[in-house]
Amino acid sequence: MPDSVLAAIIAGSATLSASFLQFRSAALRDGRADKSAAARRKNRLQRMVLLVIIGAAAVSGFALSQWLSEGERAAQGALQRELQARIAEISRTAGALELTRTNARAEIETSLLRGIGAEGVAVTATVAACRPPLPIVPQGTSPPDVPPDGGAPAGRACTEAEASPVTLCVTIPANATITEVALFSRLVDAKTPWSASRLLPGQESGQARFAEKYSESAPEAGTRQVCQVFAHWSVDHAREVRVVARYSL
């Protein structure tokens, strides 16, 4: 029970108790006094006045308690609305901070990807020397000598049609625009820098060739692949190949 209602009840009870005590005292005095008609009328008037006072006290106490309760409910409602406003403000602030953090993160990631795209994404592979298929040896004849390293038999060379193509793929963002696909090839363990080993698409060099055009895969999970085919048909040397894709965002 709220303190205001309890106080109103206590005040009303005290008023009623005092009124009853006064009524009891008046009744005792009337019992000892003369019982004339005028006195009885006076007593009845006093009793009516006393009852009116008691009723008024009860109604006043109830009204006071309701007024105090209504004031507390209004104060509680105002406090609740203020708390809801504060919670809404905190939620808006948290949403704004999360949006700012997301935008800042996206901007940082985009800036980083731009830097990677300008420098280029590279993939490197080593392609072994070509191994031509062994000639069909007639029954009763000896096969040609095969070198111990598993290379081509003496006097046997590969053709470009017999080479096994190698596909090199570079992964880039799905929304990137390709600005350049650089192709490089050099002998294994060669000291030649990559910058001096660049080839053009379709250009033959040392019995090796890149395809004339690169291919692209469909975007998947925010990325796509840029692929270049390389063919190497030399039986004497293995080669290192490198593909560098540059892009912009």
Q: What is the pLDDT of residues 134-154, one digit of tens each?
A: 665 555 555 555 555 544 455
- What pLDDT is attached to residue 228? 95
The amino acid sitting at 48 is: M
- What pLDDT is attached to residue 107? 86
Nearest residue to 237 via CA among 158, 165, 168: 158
Take residue 143 and report the two structure tokens written for it: 């096969």
Cβ burial, residue 100 (10 Å; 0-12/13-18/19+): exposed
- What pLDDT is attached to residue 225? 94
Alpha-carbon span 217 to 92, nearest angstrom:
42
Block means of pLDDT (10 residues each) for the chain, 249 residues, are 62 68 66 61 74 74 75 84 90 86 84 89 92 63 52 66 90 92 92 91 90 91 92 91 93
Alpha-carbon span 77 to 57, nearest angstrom:
30
Dihedral sign from CA coordinates of 20, 23, 29, 33: negative
- What pLDDT is attached to residue 39? 65
Q: Hey, where are the domains in the chain? A: 3-97, 120-131+155-248
- What pLDDT is attached to residue 211? 93
